Amino acid sequence: MDSVDIEVLRSAEAWRKSGHRVTLGTIVKTWGSAPRPVGALVVVRDDGQVVGSVSGGCVEDDLIDKVRSQAVARDAPQLVTYGVTNEEATRWGLPCGGTLQVVLEPVTARSGLAELLETISKQQLVKRRLEMDSGRVTVEAGRWSDALEFDGKVLSTVHGPRWRLVLIGAGQLTHYLTEMAKMLDYHVTVIEPREEYSAAWNVAGVKLDRGMPDDVIAALNLDGHSAVVALTHDPKIDDLALMEALKSAAFYVGAIGSKKNNDARRKRLLEFDLSESEIARLHGPVGLYIGSKTPPEIAVAILAEMTAVRHGVTEPSWAAKKEARFDPSACEVKT
């Protein structure tokens, strides 16, 4: 769950506690080109204030009108559909005939948002079940494989970090990378066996493991929602981590360092029980090239490349698009 959707839940609970009537919306299904993904949240207050988005356009305006007039989800959850026809899709600001379904629910003390937010703050996954007929809510521990499910009677949603990021080393760059990754829906684990670095770790809510990287990574049982980045510049530590990470199902494995250092690293990894195809998965030098120099800029570059890999983007947009050129004739005034 990204930071935007967490803010939606926080706003919903704060408004409820202050005495407002509050309606929470969750996208449960989309067709065509929907602007927001399944699971995206929006909350609307009785006076029309809104946080979050399900369309970025006219759908929110319609929801505000309906909430103000108590025309939807007044006493129980309700399913609403936007954009069934092309004409309606255009009206609601949905491109290319897009259609979306949203479950609206009145937020009450029974909604359990305070408990949900408390668990999320501990970097734990939560599965929340909403019964459409009664509005009854139950929560349980979530699993990495859980996803949103809706059968018309029960809506099951997953809250908390949906992706895992394992960072090797607890230096300055790791601090910036950790804080930014938390905003992008990652549960972060830092591995640092060196006492001089582990003693200074102070990022709240992020676990630091002092074990040896290869042992820790092997025990984590990394899946396709996992990423590993080695940041120590120490081959004795980084190479151990990469040896296990490259054999795992992690969708992204990267290592800090220059091209020369990473070429040498790849040669060293050949001496371990790794195939050439496994070594070829290594992103090193790590991150997109954006001219980054400072630790925060390098963190942005790393997360940008991880995001691209997550979404199947194989080259940056400026490489994929033709260079724009100035055409003086386009500025001529025609009479």
pLDDT band at 185 (very low <50, low <70, confident <90, very high): confident
Q: Are 227 and 166 in contact (CB under 8 A)?
A: yes
Q: Are strands 22-31 and 41-45 parallel, antiparallel or unpaired?
A: antiparallel
Percentage of the residues of the chain whose pLDDT score is greater than 70: 87
Q: Which residues of 25-52 are buried (b: 16+ CB within 10 A; e: fewer)?
A: bbbbebeeebbbebbbbbbbbeeeebbb
Q: Find how far residue 161's CA is from the centre of its chain.
A: 7
pLDDT at position 37 over 70: yes
The pLDDT assigned to 201 comes to: 93
142 Rama sector, left if φ>0, alpha if ψ -120 to 50, beta otherwise: beta
pLDDT at 43 over 60: yes
Q: How far apart are CA 61 and CA 293, in angstroms?
A: 43
Whole-angstrom Cα distance, residue 1 to residue 162? Answer: 6
The tokens describing 320, both together, are 């994929």
Task: Name the pLDDT band for 279 (thresholds 50, 70, 90).
Answer: very high
Rounded Cα–Cα distance for residues 148 and 33 (Å): 19
Whether 122 contacts 115, CB under 8 Å: no
CA atoms within 13 A on the CB side of 88: 10
Q: Does 95 have pLDDT greater than 80?
A: no
For residues 122 and 92, is the Cβ–Cβ distance under 8 A? Answer: no
Q: Which two tokens stand for residue 31?
A: 């067709």
Domain ranges of the chain: 3-159, 163-310
Give 195's contacts (C-beta < 8 A, 6+ positions apart).
Answer: none
Residue 97 near residue 32 (C-beta atoms within 8 A): yes
The whole-chain average pLDDT of the chain stands at 88
What distance in Å separates the CA atoms of residue 279 and residue 157, rounded to the nearest whole number? Answer: 37
Q: How confident is the model at residue 143 (pLDDT cuts 50, 70, 90)?
A: confident
Q: How far is CA 231 from CA 228, 244, 285, 303, in A?
A: 10, 15, 11, 14
Q: Where does the chain show beta strands of DSSP type E?
A: 22-31, 41-45, 50-52, 78-82, 99-106, 126-131, 137-141, 149-150, 154-159, 163-168, 186-191, 207-209, 226-230, 252-255, 282-283
Taking residues 81-108, what's their average pLDDT?
76
The confidence score (pLDDT) of residue 5 equals 83
Q: What is the pLDDT of residues 204-216, one digit of tens each?
A: 889 899 999 999 9
Task: Check pLDDT > 80 for residue 87.
Answer: no
Check pLDDT > 80 for residue 319.
no
Question: CATH assignment of 163-310?
Answer: 3.40.50.720
Query: How far apart, in whole angstroms, are the C-alpha atoms of residue 299 and residue 183?
Result: 13
Task: List, for residues 224-248, the tens digit of each pLDDT value.
Answer: 889 999 999 999 999 999 999 999 9
